[in-house]
Amino acid sequence: QRPELFGAVVCWVPVIDMLRYHKFTVGRYWIPEYGNAQENPEHFKFMYAYSPLHNVREGVDYPPTLIMTADTDDRVVPGHALKFAATLQEKYAGPKPILLRVESKAGHG
């Protein structure tokens, strides 16, 4: 909500797309905890409001950000980190780095 208050951010194997997380690997088992935005309009409303991927905005002063994932993570697919890095890099035109690190031949942790 207030990224300008942070000196830096490190996201380690993050769940970022809260509207589609359940479509990947074991994400469907998290529905009782997070909800299902595609089947429940009330869930969609609150999940959209806090989904990091869907709340990246142009004109915001984002802190330096390092997003880390692993290429064979079967719990949190690398797509979350890849989409988040791409979205931040697309919408943030400031001087602070938005970095992505993909660990090769590694899993969730």
In a domain, 108, yes or no: no
Mean pLDDT of 81-89: 98
Identify whether 79 is part of a domain.
yes
Instruction: For the chain, give the mean pLDDT.
Output: 95
- For residue 24, being part of any structural domain is answered with yes
Q: Measured between alpha carbons, how far is 78 from 104 in angstroms, rounded to an integer?
A: 11
The tally of CA atoms less than 13 A away on the side-chain side of residue 83 is: 19
Q: Give backbone dihedrals phi and psi of 92, rounded to 5 degrees, phi first.
A: -105, 120
Q: What DSSP state is assigned to residue 86?
A: H
Q: How many domains does the chain have?
A: 1
The whole-number pLDDT of residue 108 equals 85
> The whole model's pTM is what?
0.91
Residue 77 falls inside a structural domain = yes
Range of the domain at 12: 3-103
3-state secondary structure of 65: strand
Is 10 part of any domain? Answer: yes
Q: How far apart are CA 76 and CA 69, in angstroms?
A: 8
CATH of the domain at 97: 3.40.50.1820
